[in-house]
Amino acid sequence: MVDKIKLFAKKDFMKSFFICFFIAFLSFLPFVIKGEGFFVLTNDFNDQQIPFTIGLHNALLDSGISGFSWDIDLGTSTMDGFSFYELGSPFFWLSMLFPANAFPYIVAWLFMLKFAFAGVTSCFYLKRFVGDSKWAVLGSVLYAFSGFSLLNLVFYHFHDAIVFFPLLLIGLERYKEKKDYKFFIITIFLNCIINYFFFVGEVVFLIIYYLFRFARKDIKGMLIDMVQCVGCGILGVGMAAFVFIPNIIFISGNPRTGSFSGILNMLTNSLTEYMYIVKNLLLPNETITDISAVYTSRFSSHGFYLPMIGLVLIIAYLTKKRDWLSKIIIYLAVASFIPLLSDVFYMYSAAQMRWWYMFALMGILASVRMLEEPDSAAIKLGTGIYIGLIVVFMVVLNIFKAINLNDVNWISNPNRLYTHVGLTIVGAVITCVIAVQPQVNYKNILRTVSIFSLGLLFSTMFIYKTCDWLGLQAYKQRFQVATQLELPNNQYRLNDTMNLISMTAHVAGFTNQSSTDTNSIRDFEDIFDYYAEVVGMPKNDIPGLAELLAGKYYIAFSNQEGLVVDEYDTDLGTVYLMERGACPIGFAVDSYITMEELKSMDVNSRAIALLDSVVLDEDSLTEGIKADLPEKKASDIDLETSVSDYVTEHTYGSVLGFNKDGHGMTCLTGYDEDTYVYFSVPYDAGWTATVDGEKTDIIESGGMMLIKVPAGQHNVVFKYVTPGLMVGGIITGISWAVYAIIIVVSKRKNLKLA
């Protein structure tokens, strides 16, 4: 048994696992120790990745994948809100073995595993193209710690795509080599379910890869082959349809989904963008929050640099080879500079180079093949060209800085920039010296690449942590508050915009950092002329808005005037939960204003108007509504009425016995006459409402919900089921049945052949 374990540990993919894990372990360990086990980084990692993982954990325990999460902004479908993040991630499901609030203590270790498994999957792919698999091990280190991986540390969930993408290429290779449909289909399923956004880009890349790798003159045969590949793709996606279809429905109505702006507009980029692309192809990655040149910060994924070797061996390969690999590398390099070709990876949503991990893998394949079959002249030439390109880039950059071209801060941190330039040139020279030897010393190049990888990963994390706006102790304090927080009345929200507090506490709040909140929230924000891709509208900037949206409770970090409803002990002292006036989530309304009239008012008066009258589009106005509710014009709104007066009025008009969970919400009504009730809950096609068991219409009101209830006492029930989930589930069941048939038929064929 011991001998078998030793043999298993010596396998190439296990070497990749251990090397990559050890590099990541040494890099993360100082920060884990400093945080006493609690690991944070900066910006999106702290504000989204940690709380969203905790929030997903809580949501699944609450209502499963079909439910509604009250923790994302004003409320969003669990499926829609979390699929882009981690719903399909095996690493997330591993974290489910621990309590939800343990995540900040285990995330560093999960990150180490992600780096290790990125090494494993890339090793499996690369070894198909080298004679000696040790070069695949080296390539796996380059892939796991490429500039793309390190730059995107703040986007923890991006690393799932990095880990599983090589399997997709292996699936295609095995299909072409052995007609292995089964493995190809399962790799499509895995990548589709892990992250639908990255999967779309991977499918585009797979088409490009196929055309360069397997295109042939036999057009008929190739078309048949492509149809079979498409069939595998359809079945693989069908197996993941229970996740994929609901998300396609969601993003099809998302105003942040990109649009094609015309061929001519997408043929060129700005000079600043060209320079930034060149910089990130030539030099080591920087943090997206603190950049030394061209931009000072940019939340995109422009990271490519291969530890130590940079572009040396890629350029050498291109000068020597004219094969499919060199052609695809040239195509991808050109595509990086042309939005028409770059943005196609994500259907003309701004790609932001979030496909460069695929590009990097092709460059790594070329590099390891060059090392296995070195050509001294080509490597020396590649080194010279690479260093020359860096010098030319730096000269041009300094000229732009000297003349202050376009008022761009071309070099904002010269010390770091020149350190990176020096490091890159040193790495290129070391690569050249090792690679031009009569016998390339594998251990030397693996050792030096590993040292570079360790240094780059550690320094990237170090700089990220220096950009943390909140600081470790302050962040931990808020986490400690959230683990204790409970709202006294769940018909109100926490008036706090920090994802960490609402999602960790599992309470409704005003969280404002999400790429995937429900589309109707964007409709509501449009009332106030607000639009941002990720950051939700600040609810306290518009008079009366926080009160309208039930923002009754807030957190104070020092003792102050006001009603204290709870206190929490933290490492930095006592924190207080305070109470203020706010409308309940559900309350009666007695008039309406049209959207056109509302939009004619000053933006700072519109929340007051909504406290006075419910807003309705002309399309929503039925004869019944017109008969039941008086219309108010903008001039009819009494802006002198205080917010507190409206709060008092709506508190008296509140629904009773309000309760909510991941399946929906329930309440009692007891009005003297037929009444319309407004709920500050985002409208979604997944909602159904019943009054005493009888279905009633839900009227969309500026992105929120309105229903009519009859006079007297009644039970009102809102239930939520993710749109498309049932259809997706049926397709998934059918697809898995077909896949099972394929497996059975395949086994029978193999038995006959045997």
Q: Write the DSSP string, 375-412.
A: -HHHHHHHHHHHHHHHHHHHHHHHHHHHHTGGG--SBS
How many separate helices (H) and strands (E) can be counted in the chain?
31, 17
Instruction: Show me where the domains of the chain are located.
Output: 261-373+375-439, 587-720
What is the predicted pLDDT for the residue at 560? 81
Exposure class string for 520-549: b at 16+ Cβ within 10 A, else e = bbbbbbbbbebeeeeebbebeebebbbbbb
What is the predicted pLDDT for the residue at 513? 73
| pTM for this predicted structure | 0.94
Neighbours of 404 (CB within 10 A): 10
Q: Which residues contact 239 (CB under 8 A, 6 or more apart)?
A: 185, 189, 192, 732, 735, 736, 739
What is the predicted pLDDT for the residue at 225? 87
For 491-644, where are the E strands, in sequence order?
A: 493-494, 551-556, 563-570, 573-579, 586-589, 592-594, 614-616
Asked if 186 and 171 count as a contact pair (C-beta separation under 8 A), the reply is: yes
What is the predicted pLDDT for the residue at 256? 55
What is the predicted pLDDT for the residue at 257? 54
Exposure class string for 243-282: b at 16+ Cβ within 10 A, else e = bbbbbebbbeebeeeeeeeeeeebeebeeebebbbbbbbb
Asked if 616 and 678 count as a contact pair (C-beta separation under 8 A), the reply is: no
What is the predicted pLDDT for the residue at 664? 95
What is the predicted pLDDT for the residue at 451? 97
Q: Which amino acid is residue 742, in one-letter code?
A: I
Q: Which residues contact 635 (CB under 8 A, 6 or more apart)?
A: none
The residue behind tokens 């880009």 is 201
242's tokens: 């229970």
Residues linked to residue 690 through DSSP beta bridges, in sequence order? 695, 717
508's tokens: 């409704």
Asked if 263 and 271 count as a contact pair (C-beta separation under 8 A), the reply is: no
Give the pLDDT means over successive 10-residue stretches in the chain (754 positions). Answer: 71 94 98 95 91 95 93 92 93 96 97 98 97 96 98 96 98 93 96 95 96 87 89 96 92 62 76 97 95 94 97 97 96 95 84 94 98 95 98 97 94 96 98 93 96 97 88 93 94 91 92 81 92 84 95 91 91 94 96 95 95 92 92 92 94 95 95 96 95 96 96 96 95 96 84 61
* Tens-place pLDDT, residues 540-582: 999 999 999 999 999 999 888 889 999 999 999 999 999 999 9
Nearest 5°: the CA angle 308, 314, 318 is 160
**Length of the chain in terms of residues written:** 754
What is the predicted pLDDT for the residue at 608? 96
CA distance readout (Å), 506 to 54, 207, 497 = 9, 42, 14
From CA 233, how far away is CA 746, in angstroms rounded?
Answer: 18
Asked if 205 and 167 count as a contact pair (C-beta separation under 8 A), the reply is: no
What is the predicted pLDDT for the residue at 255? 56
What is the predicted pLDDT for the residue at 133? 94
* Tens-place pLDDT, residues 15-39: 999 999 999 999 999 999 999 999 9
